[in-house]
Amino acid sequence: MRWKGRRQSSNVEDARTTKRGAAGLKGGLIGTLVLAAIIYFLGGDPLQVINLGNLDPDSGEKTELTREEIEMGEFVSVVLADIEDVWHMLFREMGKTYREPKLVLFSGSVSSACGYAQDATGPFYCPGDEKVYIDLEFLEELQRRLGAQGDFAVAYILAHEVGHHVQNLLGTMDEFARYRASGVGQKEINQMTVRLELQADFLAGVWVHHGQKMKDFLEEGDLEEALNAASAVGDDKIQMKSQGRVTPDSFQHGTASQRKSWLYKGVKTGDIRQGDTFSVTRL
pLDDT of residue 117: 73
Does residue 11 register a pLDDT over 90? yes
Residue 37 confidence class, pLDDT cut points 50, 70, 90: very low
Of 101-115, 145-159, 161-175, 237-251, the range with the highest mean pLDDT is 161-175
Please count the structural domains in the chain: 1
| SS3 of residue 25 by DSSP | coil
Give the integer Cα–Cα distance in Å for 151 and 76. Answer: 9
Does residue 78 register a pLDDT over 90? yes
Give the integer Cα–Cα distance in Å for 106 and 104. Answer: 6
**pLDDT tens track for 41-71:** 333 333 333 333 334 444 455 578 899 999 9
Query: Is 241 a member of any domain?
Result: yes
From residue 75, how far is each of 28, 52, 162 by CA, in Å?
Answer: 35, 30, 16
Higher pLDDT, 202 or 114: 202
Measured over the CA atoms of residue 275, residue 167, residue 40 and residue 207, the dihedral's sign is positive
pLDDT of residue 171: 93
**Average of per-residue pLDDT across 17-32:** 38
Query: Is 193 a member of any domain?
Result: yes
- Residue 98 belongs to what domain range? 12-282
Say which residues have a Cβ less than 8 Å from residue 66's Cβ, sequence separation at least 6.
Answer: none
Does residue 184 register a pLDDT over 50? yes
Query: Is 7 a member of any domain?
Result: no
Give this prediction's pTM.
0.82
Q: Which residues pair with 61 in a beta bridge?
A: 19
Query: Is 5 a member of any domain?
Result: no
